[in-house]
Structure 1
């Protein structure tokens, strides 16, 4: 079974506003409400590719109930921990001004509730896959990723980590199956600027030397690089297409890679599936569908 963890899920309120003006009343020309969060995005694309997963995390209040309802409507099993106080966050994403969004804070999460999550994860078995994705709320311990991985160490659970800076660096000693920094995040770790596929390779290798088995580096319009545990270094330019919505493209890449790996246990196939899924989401209004991913995949092989 595949499990995804979204520590601070959201309802994403995605709107378009024509001729947006500060200080005035603006009206939407389109709007959409979707469950949000990196782990949920991974589960959504996995589902689109025919793979079942269970979404874990924390929810609170009426927005939390709606997140659960929306997730279940997508065909994803949810096993969220419900928090009595507060509400799950609403993230406002202004589609008509690229990259403009206002993200909420989310509820406070106690140590007792963290322990409830740990108990759920302790039930994972050999052969299971766990995806830990995204930031954590400020009320949670900053070592939560490494605590989880230490608990599951030696259990035969393949763990994927999509996080930044300290969250990522602290887990490398537990040998995650896959990490997926983008080139900017990789550059921040080593205090360098990385713009080409050739430049990211030595730094991706450094993360592999520190413990990561596979390092998948997304680079938006520059494509992607995979440094695989079997020694392969695979590169791909970005598939041709028009950027429509960059939200969730990286999460889609993780889902595509996992789907490809589980089907063939072949890194080249998994890499191309990851690139195809990430690009298909970037070229679509919503997260990528199976047919969109397969169409782009055929251009890569």
Structure 2
């Protein structure tokens, strides 16, 4: 079974308007709400592709009720831990540029944390876990690292999509898969990375440290996948960028869906790229038919 963990979910509120004027009253031309959070997004895309998962994490208050109702309506299994505070609200504004205002995270106490950890303690080598997104300030900053080490000992495959200190701390405990973009990899390695050639030695070094799969995305310039056996590069298909929110989550979900279905590594990489691109070219998450169409435009070759 696949489990996704979202420690810091949100009710995402999307607002569109022609021009954002700071210091003035602005009126949106349209808006929408969605249950947000990187792990939830991965579960959502997996469900659209026919792969079931269970969404874990913390929810609370009326916004938490909204998230639970939404994922249930979408047919996603969940087993969220209820907390006392309200799940945050993130405002995403699309005008001349895309802007975000992310709400404050609720407090998560030791009892809440132990409840979630008890769920993870039940997992076995038959399971895969996706740890995605930020760690709330009320939780230990090394929480992902602690969990990866523990889950590795249980035989669980752990996919991690995070950044900053949390990403740095998981490298020594050897997760199965990480997906930094070029800027996150540059921050992690304290280096300048502008091309795939710049990224190759750093991705190789991470593999040598025990990370089995390092997938580095370069937006419209494609992606790099490093393993012990090979360094692969995939081009990005052509299309109009409409929405950058969730493209990375869709990349992880596409790769995981194909890998979990028994696809070869090259095919899983190709499918992940098509999944991320389909979302980038859509106003929401890309449709399965679009993913399959874009797959034909992506070539993967060894470097």
TM range (shorter): over 0.9
What does residue range 7-156 of structure 1 map to in structure 2 within 5 Å?
7-84=7-84, 86-156=85-155
Q: TM-score, normalised by structure 2?
A: 0.96
- Give structure 1 regions of 4+ aligned residues with deviation exceeding 4 angstroms: none
Unaligned runs of 5+ in 1: none
Question: Match for residue 212 of structure 2?
Answer: 213
Residue deviations 1:146-203 (CA, integer Å, cap 9, x gap): 2212222232211001111321222223321111011000001122221111111111
Partner of 2:243, secondary structure, is coil
Question: Match for residue 257 of structure 2?
Answer: 259
The CA RMSD measured in Å over matched residues stands at 1.2
C-alpha displacement of 1:228: 2.2
What does residue range 172-251 of structure 1 map to in structure 2 within 5 Å?
172-229=171-228, 231-251=229-249
Q: Do the aligned partners of 2:152 and 2:158 also contact (CA within 8 Å) in 1?
A: no
Q: TM-score, normalised by structure 1?
A: 0.96
Partners of 2:253 and 2:137 in 1: how far apart?
27
Partners of 1:128 and 1:19 in 2: how far apart?
47
What does residue range 284-299 of structure 1 map to in structure 2 within 5 Å?
284-299=282-297
Partners of 1:295 and 1:96 in 2: how far apart?
29
- Segment drifting more, 49-58 vs 95-104: 95-104
Partners of 2:262 and 2:91 in 1: how far apart?
39
Residue deviations 1:254-274 (CA, integer Å, cap 9, x gap): 001111112234110010001
Unaligned runs of 5+ in 2: none
Partners of 1:146 and 1:20 in 2: how far apart?
40
Partner of 2:130, secondary structure, is strand
Partners of 2:190 and 2:145 in 1: how far apart?
23
Residue deviations 1:190-240 (CA, integer Å, cap 9, x gap): 2222111111111111111122001000110111000124x1211012110
Q: Do the aligned partners of 2:250 and 2:285 also contact (CA within 8 Å) in 1?
A: yes
